[in-house]
């Protein structure tokens, strides 16, 4: 790396030489003295220029990142002050003058609305010599990648599958058992526990105690939920970026970002109730994450969602992914083509309760031309017809951008209808 004379110092030296020459030729020592000061200072500072080059690197921060932010430490080594430049993509985040004594560590916090693997930032430094008389060339750019996990949002009541499973859980099933609400009062029979005897009913129906009556309850059970994310599309609010030649803006969450957040929120809501949740990817042929429960299952789902991304050309499945019997299916997709709607109809005809979650962002169409507006109109008409066909098949529809907690709570209170029933 080469240290060069700064423009200000070069200009000061030139002006100083000119004043000294003018003073000598005109016999004006006062003018020559005025030019001697910047000339001597410039030459002295130039001779004191550093001999080593500044370096910079990004290291992992010891502090845990907050939701929607990335943390890293900028570690720079330089013999003098440096100018630190931080950019993210094509956007310059900040430039700062930093005093360095051999080495210095600076905290870096970057706020982002995106999830998944991404670069924290690109950082370079430029050394500044004593008196700003010399500057170095910018150092090689340092960067660091990070995996941003989707942050869940709180949801209220959640819908349940038509059939619950297991002998434990937080939901009241139709089977007789323990833990749920009152099922009926029945005469005592072999196998009933003595603590289930209802003495009030017994005293009213059989005062002579010739027969005992017991209270029978509903059994508690758990729900099995399968989250299916359609990773084939990752589109932003600007339709002009859908062709892939222009990336979406860093401040705009894409459809896959919304799908990750929606799936994480649903997973947290069901897991907090003690249900079992699994994950599958409609755009990749890999082994799905089987249904499970607990905090570790939520961590596994969040990590798998963060790694979900479009992989090459969209795959066309020969058959829909296999779903456990009696499971509730939540399909997160933009429904810009027929693939997601086709597998949703297959699951619904197989008897599963299917909820289609529309994760298409709110589109910005003001900057579109006439041809682009016509194309978007055709896409919108085809998409609305596709969603209407799903509704006719009794696939329930939730739009994530329009208060999804209210829509899910409404579905939780609504009885499951059979396919083809009129609305």
Any domain includes 156:
no
Any domain includes 402:
yes
pLDDT tens, position by position, 294-311: 889 999 999 999 999 887
Give the CA-trace dihedral at 78, 83, 84, 86, to 10 degrees.
Answer: -150
What's the pLDDT score for residue 416? 44
Any domain includes 100:
yes
Are 234 and 305 members of one domain? yes
Any domain includes 166:
no
Are 204 and 299 members of one domain? no
Mean pLDDT, rounded, of the chain: 80
| Sign for the pseudo-dihedral over CA of 183, 187, 192, 193 | positive
Are 268 and 279 members of one domain? yes
Average pLDDT over residues 70-95: 81
Are 248 and 370 members of one domain? yes
Q: Which residue has the higher pLDDT, 229 or 98?
A: 229
> What is the C-alpha radius of gyration for the chain, rounded to an integer number of angstroms?
34
pLDDT tens, position by position, 201-238: 778 777 877 788 877 766 566 788 999 999 988 898 98
pLDDT tens, position by position, 101-122: 778 888 888 888 888 888 888 8
Give the residue numbers spanning the domain of 407.
224-413
| pLDDT-based confidence at residue 422 (cuts at 50, 70, 90) | very low
Are 242 and 391 members of one domain? yes
Any domain includes 327:
yes
Are 302 and 343 members of one domain? yes
Q: Interhelix angle for 29-47 vs 7-26, to 10°?
A: 150
Please count the structural domains in the chain: 4
What is the rounded CA–CA span in Å between residue 222 and residue 86? Answer: 50
CATH code of residue 108: 2.60.40.10
| pLDDT-based confidence at residue 374 (cuts at 50, 70, 90) | very high
Are 125 and 38 members of one domain? no
What's the pLDDT score for residue 188? 73
pLDDT tens, position by position, 385-398: 999 999 999 999 99
What's the pLDDT score for residue 53? 77
Are 93 and 12 members of one domain? no
Are 118 and 258 members of one domain? no
What's the pLDDT score for residue 138? 82
What's the pLDDT score for residue 165? 67
Are 188 and 142 members of one domain? no
What is the percent of the chain with per-residue pLDDT over 70, rounded to a whole number?
78
Are 260 and 339 members of one domain? yes
In the beta sheet, which residues pair with residue 219? Answer: 179
Are 36 and 130 members of one domain? no
Tell me if 390 sits within 8 A of 344, measured CB to CB.
yes
pLDDT of residue 184 exceeding 80, the answer is no
Any domain includes 165:
no
pLDDT of residue 261 exceeding 90, the answer is yes
Residue that is last in its domain, among 114, 148, 182? 148
């Amino acid at each position: 790396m080469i240290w060069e004379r700064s423009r200000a110092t070069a200009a000061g030296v030139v002006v100083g030489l000119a004043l000294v020459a003018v003073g000598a030729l005109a016999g004006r020592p006062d003018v020559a003295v005025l030019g001697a000061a910047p000339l001597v200072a410039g030459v002295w500072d130039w001779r004191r220029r550093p001999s080593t080059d500044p370096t910079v690197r990004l290291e992992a921060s010891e502090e845990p990142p907050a939701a929607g932010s990335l943390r890293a430490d900028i570690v720079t080594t330089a013999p003098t002050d440096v100018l630190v430049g931080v950019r993210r993509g094509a956007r310059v985040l900040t430039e700062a003058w930093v005093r360095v004594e051999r080495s210095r560590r600076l905290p870096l916090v970057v706020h982002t609305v995106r999830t998944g693997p991404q670069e924290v930032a690109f950082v370079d430094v430029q050394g500044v010599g004593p008196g700003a008389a010399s500057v170095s060339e910018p150092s090689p750019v340092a960067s660091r990648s990070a995996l941003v996990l989707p942050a869940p949002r709180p949801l209220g009541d959640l819908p349940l599958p038509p059939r619950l499973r297991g002998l434990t859980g937080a939901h009241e099933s139709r089977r007789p058992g323990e833990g749920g609400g009152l099922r009926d009062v029945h005469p005592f029979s072999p196998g009933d526990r003595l603590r289930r005897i209802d003495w009030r009913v017994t005293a009213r129906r059989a005062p002579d105690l010739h027969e005992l009556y017991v209270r029978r309850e509903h059994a508690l059970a758990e729900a099995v939920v399968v989250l299916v994310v359609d990773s084939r599309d990752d589109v932003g609010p600007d339709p002009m970026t859908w062709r892939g030649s222009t990336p979406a803006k860093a401040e705009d969450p894409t459809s896959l970002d919304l799908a990750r957040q929606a799936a994480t929120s649903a997973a947290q809501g069901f897991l907090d109730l003690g249900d079992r949740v699994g994950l599958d990817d409609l755009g990749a042929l890999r082994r799905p994450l089987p249904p499970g429960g607990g905090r570790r299952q939520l961590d596994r789902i969040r990590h798998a969602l963060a790694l979900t991304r479009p992989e090459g050309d969209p795959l066309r499945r020969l058959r829909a992914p296999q779903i456990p019997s009696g499971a509730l299916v939540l399909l997160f997709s933009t429904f810009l083509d027929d693939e997601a709607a086709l597998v949703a109809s297959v699951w619904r005809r197989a008897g599963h309760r299917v909820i289609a979650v529309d994760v298409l962002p709110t589109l910005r169409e003001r900057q579109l031309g006439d041809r682009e507006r016509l194309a978007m109109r055709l896409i919108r008409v085809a998409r609305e017809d596709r969603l209407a066909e799903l509704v006719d098949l009794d696939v329930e529809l939730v739009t994530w951008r329009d208060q999804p907690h209210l829509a899910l709570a409404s579905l939780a209170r609504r009885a499951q209808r059979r396919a083809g029933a009129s609305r």
